[in-house]
Amino acid sequence: MGALFRIIPLHATDKVLEVKDGSLAVGAEVVIYKKRTTDFDGQLWTLDYKGRIKNKKSGLFISVKNKGGDYGVVLTQVTQSQALNWSYNSNNSISLINSSLFADVKLRATNDNNDVILFKWDSAENKHQRFTLEFYGVE
């Protein structure tokens, strides 16, 4: 059991992170999408004690395609054994543990189904790299 959250990018507060098209498949991309009022389990996440971020609907975890350390790679959902460890930081960023890379809304876009990627810190304008965790309840 754990706390459920919506993850809201600060540059687009009407959007949240979700698994694209509500997919249950390993490898499905994590995107931003408008907050749903029904069928929104794909927009709910938990952060476990190891720093893994799990989607309520799919039961899968956030990682990156090819599990590489390069920046610019798309966030996807994977099995627990492939999950990466994340840190939610005091500046509202979500970083890959033991890395200088952060969750980032690609190209600062605000449109639905825009990819969330792993990217280096943007010191100039970084609201697209900062997220609010909106408490929803307990699973």
Determine the average pLDDT of the residues in 1-14.
Answer: 94
pLDDT tens-digit map of 44-84: 999 999 999 999 999 999 998 765 556 688 999 999 999 99
What is the share, in percent, of the chain residues with pLDDT greater than 70? 95
Q: Residue 116: which H helix or E strand, with range?
A: strand 114-120
pLDDT at residue 71, rounded to an integer: 65
Instruction: Give the C-alpha separation, 70 to 125, whole Å.
Output: 21
pLDDT of residue 70: 60
Query: What are the sequence ranges of the domains in the chain?
Result: 3-133
85 pLDDT more than 90: yes
- Note the CATH architecture for domain 3-133: Trefoil (2.80)
